[in-house]
Amino acid sequence: MQNLELSYRPAELRSVIAQAHDQNRPITLNDVEWVVPGREPRFYDVHIVPLFDETSRAVGISIMFADVSRVQELQTQLTRSKQDLETAYEELQSTNEELETTNEELQSTVEELETTNEELQSTNEELETMNEELQSTNEELQTMNQELRERSDAVTRANGFLESILTSVRSGVIVVDRDFHVIAWNHRSEDLWGLRGDEVKGQNVLTLDIGLPVDEIRTGIRACLAGETAFSEGEVTARNRRGRSIECRVTCTPLMSDGRRIAGAILLIEERTPEQANA
């Protein structure tokens, strides 16, 4: 292997292979750029995984190149979109400040009109009508603001309720969207795999450096996302955050949106005791 160009290009693999062998754990190199003359650069996630026989003796190393160029491109587009959104937000803030200034000027004009009320008695009725319309508009705006606050409170309560449910579930819960990106990760998952929810949200669950053998459950997840099945279940051998081998039952069900469209998948990971695993 060390005599091949692949061992040092696109990434230095020899030292990483040695590290994975010495530490007996998988290692992932993310977003490795591979430049080939005359072609567009490609990006890969490189997975170096030790292989073991039935006696847990190391027998080799598996090296996998996962093409994430599309993910890299989408990330760039997302960053650009965020920048555009920030620019639009700043422009909106500036416009809002201008509107506030205009509103203050209008208030000043109203006061001037009231001062000249005796001289402009003929226009007084029109100004009063305008004032009533402004008051009506203000009341409508207050009503709309109240509704927005109530909806915001309802969303906050719903999010808190969902968070409390995920926290109460004793099994690991991982929710992914149709692109396998993590959108929910409960405390039990943090305890099993050693990664916090804010560290994995938005990440592709298939590329996370955790002890769950996602390749073994990939087919079940894809079947749920494609609507081919409403339920998928399997037993896998995993490694928890302490490096201990555990038996897990992985259940996958589709995540349905309001329109009964499949928006993602829910993974329920239950650690099995030796007695349960052998039953």
Length of the chain: 279
Average pLDDT rounded to a whole number, residues 248-261? 87
- How many angstroms separate the most distant Cα atoms in the chain? 103
- pLDDT of 162 > 70? The answer is no
DSSP 38: T
User: Tokens at residue 90, please?
Assistant: 């700043």
Mean pLDDT value across residues 81-98: 90
How would residue 8 be classed by pLDDT, with cut points 50, 70 and 90? Answer: low
Domains in the chain: boundaries: 5-67, 116-168, 170-278
- Residue 129 confidence (pLDDT): 86
Answer yes or no: pTM beyond 0.75.
Answer: no
Measure the CA–CA gap between 133 and 109, rounded to whole angstroms. Answer: 16
Is 264 within 8 Å of 257 (Cβ atoms)?
A: no
Place of tokens 């149709």: 178
Report the pLDDT value the prediction gives residue 265, as an integer from 0 to 100: 93
Instruction: State CA 154 to chain mean position distance.
Output: 22
Q: Where do we find the tokens 């991982």?
A: 174
Q: What is the pLDDT of residues 192-204, one digit of tens each?
A: 999 998 999 999 9
Query: pLDDT tens-digit profile of 164-186?
Result: 655 556 789 999 999 999 999 99
How does pLDDT run across 126-145, given as a tens digit for each residue? 888 888 888 899 888 988 88
Token pair 């916090």 is found at 196
170-278 homologous superfamily = PAS domain (3.30.450.20)
**Between the CA of residue 85 and those of 71, 82, 127, 158, what are the distances in Å?**
20, 5, 40, 27
CA distance 20 to 62: 10
Q: How far apart are CA 193 and CA 210, in angstroms?
A: 6
Report CA dihedral (20, 26, 31, 34) to the nearest 10 degrees: 50
CA 51 from centre of chain: 31
3-state secondary structure of 48: strand
Statement: residue 105 has pLDDT above 70: yes
SS3 state of residue 174: strand
Task: At 146, list the tokens.
Answer: 């109240």
Q: Do 166 and 184 touch, CB atoms closer than 8 A?
A: yes
DSSP string, 36-102: -TTS--EEEEEEEEEEE-TTS-EEEEEEEEEE-HHHHHHHHHHHHHHHHHHHHHHHHHHHHHHHHHH
pLDDT at 43: 86
Task: Convert the pLDDT of each residue in 36-79 to its tens digit.
Answer: 777 788 888 889 888 888 887 878 888 888 888 888 788 888 88
Average pLDDT, the chain: 84
Between 149 and 250, where is the model more confident? 250
In this predicted structure, the answer to whether residue 1 has a pLDDT above a threshold of 80 is no
